[in-house]
């Protein structure tokens, strides 16, 4: 394939004309890695980077989908277009939810300024994260102002998906146990903003305190030196939760402490505060240079990923390589050569195979 297939070229023209059907088809091509998906993504690359990507993660049932609907609606009211990528087989976006949720969903789904795609959960870890990112790339290139990425749970692949966003919102609920659970799951590290949802239920304040306590402990010393009498320095205990809250509300340009926002996603309470926190975080990202760094890191990771995939593909789809490997088996069986030596030799003799692709 040296040029774009005619139907892909037509699709791209329709995409540029901003036909809603074109974005849906482009997303499907990219999501399912249909032939030419990489050429298409390559052509769209220059148009990406305008959208703000917001990942919404947390345990199942925490209210991520409900929250996503409210956030999407608020953005729409502000005149912004919204793309939603949901990686959750039980979410209202995939039809797996209760009736009430679906009715709430439909109000958003019928709006042409909103595009929703739910992804099937894929087996491979890298596969899901990269497919999600690629779909977000398409939505970005199409011109959606905000892209909301909802992930299903708190496993390793969710953390990876969350890392593809500019801002990661970690949603916790009082009944999910305690903040320690979140810490163990690796959520503390990836959270740019914490949401304590279901704040209509008991325990919301306690959970918020726990989160702030942990953030405060991470921020540093809880003992603050105070000048004492007669030149003797005393130590004053400082509540780490207060340290975290003060840091989260301070407006430092190059420092970010995740704020903890309380929401009730069944009513939409707290949505404005959440959106304000996301905006503040974006301002921080821009001012501190972190946005550029995150995006650069993403591009770098992307190349590494593509190289890995292409190397695998080119090597193992090459008959010569497989045949040669076959000839090495007896020596390995006899203990004369190790798999490591064979691997090194294989790589050394594969330059032609590895560079067989057309540079794009
Ligand atoms: N009481 C209460 N229920 C909520 C709240 N937010 C969501 N729910 C309910 O919790 C359930 C799970 O919500 P959902 O958005 O699907 O959670 P997800 O799995 O994280 O996407 C649904 O039945 C919601 O109606 C809330 O703030 N308070
Ligand atoms: Mg959901």
Q: What single DSSP character describes residue 316? A: H
> Does residue 85 or residue 163 have the better pLDDT?
85
What φ, ψ does residue 268 adopt, rounded to 5°?
95, 0
With a 6 Å cutoff on the Cβ, whether 57 touches ligand 1 is no
Ligand nearest to the CA of 62: 1
- The yes-or-no verdict on residue 351 having pLDDT over 80 is yes
Q: Which of 57, 59, 61 to mutate to test the pocket of ligand 1 (most atoms within 8 A of CB)?
A: 61
Query: Token match 């239920």: residue?
Result: 201
Q: What is the separation, in whole angstroms, between the first and last Cα of the chain? A: 11
Find the 347 Cα to ligand 2 centroid distance in Å: 44
- The yes-or-no verdict on residue 55 having pLDDT over 90 is yes
In ligand 1, the atom with minimum distance to the C-alpha of 58 is 20
Q: Residue 231: its pLDDT value, please?
A: 64
The CA distances from residue 20 to 115, 139, 142, 144, 289, in Å, are 9, 11, 10, 12, 34
- The yes-or-no verdict on residue 29 having pLDDT over 70 is yes
Name the token pair of 316: 């193992």
- The yes-or-no verdict on residue 358 having pLDDT over 50 is yes
Q: Is the dihedral of CA 202, 203, 205, 211 positive or negative?
A: negative
pLDDT tens digits for range 230-251: 666 667 777 877 877 877 777 6
Report the candidate in 138, 194, 167, 157 with the shortest Cα–Cα distance to residue 283: 167
Q: Residue 1: its pLDDT value, please?
A: 44
Residue 19: CA count within 13 A, CB half-sphere = 11
Q: Which stretches does DSSP call E strand in the chain? A: 52-57, 82-87, 114-118, 146-151, 167-172, 193-196, 223-227, 233-237, 260-262
Neighbours of 174 (CB within 10 A): 19
Q: Residue 177: its pLDDT value, please?
A: 66
- Dihedral angle over CA of 354, 356, 358, 360, nearest 10: 10
- The yes-or-no verdict on residue 130 having pLDDT over 70 is yes
| pTM for the model | 0.85
Find the 60 Cα to ligand 2 centroid distance in Å: 7
Report the candidate in 112, 185, 119 with the shortest Cα–Cα distance to residue 154: 185
With a 6 Å cutoff on the Cβ, whether 98 touches ligand 1 is yes
- The yes-or-no verdict on residue 326 having pLDDT over 90 is yes
pLDDT tens digits for range 203-213: 999 999 888 88
Share of the chain above pLDDT 70, in %: 82
Q: Whose CA is nearest to atom 9 of ligand 1?
A: 63
- The stretch 167-196 carries a mean pLDDT of 82
Ligand nearest to the CA of 265: 1
The contacts of residue 200 (CB under 8 Å, 6+ apart) are 264, 266, 267, 269
- The stretch 221-229 carries a mean pLDDT of 67
pLDDT tens digits for range 276-321: 999 999 999 999 999 999 999 889 988 998 899 889 989 999 999 9
Q: Residue 7: its pLDDT value, please?
A: 86
> Does residue 88 or residue 333 have the better pLDDT?
333
Find the 90 Cα to ligand 2 centroid distance in Å: 6
Provide the residues around ligand 2 (an ion) whose CB is within 5 A: 64-65, 88, 91
> Does residue 57 or residue 89 have the better pLDDT?
57
Query: Token match 């890995």: residue?
Result: 308
Find the 266 Cα to ligand 1 centroid distance in Å: 7
């Amino acid at each position: 394939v040296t040029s774009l297939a005619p139907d892909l070229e037509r699709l791209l023209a329709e995409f540029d004309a901003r036909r809603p059907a074109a974005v849906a088809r482009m997303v499907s091509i990219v999501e399912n890695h249909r032939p030419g998906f990489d050429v298409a993504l390559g052509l769209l690359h220059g148009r990406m980077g305008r959208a703000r990507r917001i990942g919404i993660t947390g345990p199942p049932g925490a209210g991520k989908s409900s929250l996503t609907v409210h956030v999407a609606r608020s953005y729409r009211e502000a005149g912004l277009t919204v793309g939603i990528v949901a990686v959750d087989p039980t979410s209202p976006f995939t039809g797996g939810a209760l009736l009430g949720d679906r009715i709430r969903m439909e109000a958003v789904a019928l709006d042409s300024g909103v595009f929703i795609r739910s992804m099937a959960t894929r087996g491979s870890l890298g596969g899901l994260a990269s497919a999600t990112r690629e779909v977000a790339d398409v939505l970005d290139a199409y011109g959606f102002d905000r892209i909301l990425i909802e992930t299903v749970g708190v496993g390793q692949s969710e953390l990876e998906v969350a890392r593809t966003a500019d801002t990661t919102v970690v949603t916790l609920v009082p009944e999910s146990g305690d903040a320690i659970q979140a810490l163990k799951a690796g959520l503390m590290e990836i959270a740019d903003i914490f949401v304590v949802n279901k704040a209509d239920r008991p325990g919301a304040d306690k959970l918020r305190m726990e989160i702030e306590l942990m953030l405060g402990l991470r921020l540093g010393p809880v003992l603050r030196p105070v000048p004492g009498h007669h030149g003797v320095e005393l130590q004053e205990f400082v509540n780490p939760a207060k340290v975290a809250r003060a840091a989260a509300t301070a407006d430092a340009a190059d420092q970010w402490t995740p704020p903890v926002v309380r929401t009730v996603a069944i009513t939409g309470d707290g949505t404005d505060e959440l959106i304000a926190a996301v905006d503040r975080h974006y301002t921080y990202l821009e001012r501190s240079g972190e946005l550029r760094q995150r995006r650069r890191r993403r591009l770098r990771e992307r190349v590494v990923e593509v190289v890995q995939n292409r190397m695998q593909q080119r090597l193992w789809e090459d008959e010569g390589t497989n045949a040669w490997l076959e000839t090495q088996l007896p020596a390995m069986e006899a203990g004369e050569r190790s798999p490591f030596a064979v691997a090194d030799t294989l790589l050394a003799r594969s330059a032609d195979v590895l560079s067989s692709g057309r540079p794009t």
